[in-house]
A and B are shown apart, each in its own frame.
Chain A
Amino acid sequence: MAERLLNRLREARDAKGWTQAELAARVGVSRKTINTVENRVFTPSATLAIKLAQALELSVEQLFWIER
C-alpha cells in the first residue's frame, strides 16, 4: 500500500500568524516551496523538514508524519 507524507505546516504557520513568504524568509527557501510543501505536491528534504520544524518550534514528527 502506498505511503504518503502528510504535514500540518499550514496550521502551524497560521498559529504563528505568518504568511508563506514570512516562513520562507525564516527558512531560506522560496514562497513557492512553502506552498508546494503545504499542498503536499513537494516532499521536502530532511534538511528542509528540520529547518521548518525549528522555525515553527515543533519537532519534525509533530510537523510531518506518514500515512499508511
Chain B
Amino acid sequence: MHDLKDVEAADTMGRKRSQIFFVLAIVFFAGQAAYFGSSPATRDSHARIGAWLILVILILMLLATGGFLFRGRKVLDLLNDETSRLNRLASQALGFWVTIITALVVYVESIFDAVSLNEGIHIIVTTGVGAALISFAVRERRAHRIG
C-alpha cells in the first residue's frame, strides 16, 4: 500500500506536468514559426540552431522518461504508472507517423523546389517531436479532467 500523500503529490505533479508540456509545445511551435518566418540569411545562426537542438533533445528526453524528477521513487512510479506509460507510447507512435508523413511531404516538395538538408531535417524533426509532445500533454490533461 502506498502512502496517500504520495498519491496526492503524484496527482498534483501529473497535472502540472501536463500543463508544462502543453506550454512547452506551444513555445516550441511558436519558436519554429518565428524561425521559418525569418529570412534564410539570418535564421541559420549558431545560436538559433543551438537553441532548437537543445530544446529538441530536452523534449525527447521528457518523452522518453516522462520527466526527470523530483520527489522520490514512489511518487515517480505513481506519476508514470500504466496510464501515463500508455499515453506516452501512443504519443511516441503518433510522433513517428507525423515524422514519416512530413518526410514524404518534404521529399515530394523537394522535387519541385530546392529544400536544403538542414531545412528538411529541421521541418521533419520539429513536426514529429512537437506532435508527440502536444499529444502526450493533451492525453494527460484529458485523463486528469475526466469524471
Contacts and interface: CB of A to CB of B under 8 A. Distances in A.
Q: How large is the interface on A (under 10, 10 to 19, 20 to 34, 35 or more residues)?
A: 20 to 34
Nearest to A29: B81
Contact of B7 (A24, A36, A41, A48): A24
Contacts of A28: 1-2, 77-78, 81
A29 B83 CA distance: 9
A26 B140 CA distance: 22
Contacts of B32: none
A47 to B, nearest CB: 8
Interface residues of B: mostly helix, strand, loop or mixed? Answer: helix
A48 to B, nearest CB: 6
Nearest to A31: B11
Interface of A: 21-22, 24-26, 28-33, 35-36, 38-39, 41-42, 44-45, 48
9 contacts: A24-B7, A28-B78, A29-B83, A30-B14, A30-B78, A32-B11, A32-B84, A38-B147, A42-B83
Interface of B: 1-4, 6-8, 10-11, 14, 77-79, 81-84, 86, 140, 142-144, 146-147
Given A25-B6, A32-B144, 18 more contacts: A22-B4, A25-B1, A26-B2, A28-B1, A28-B2, A28-B78, A29-B82, A29-B83, A30-B10, A30-B14, A30-B79, A30-B84, A32-B84, A35-B144, A36-B143, A39-B146, A42-B83, A42-B143
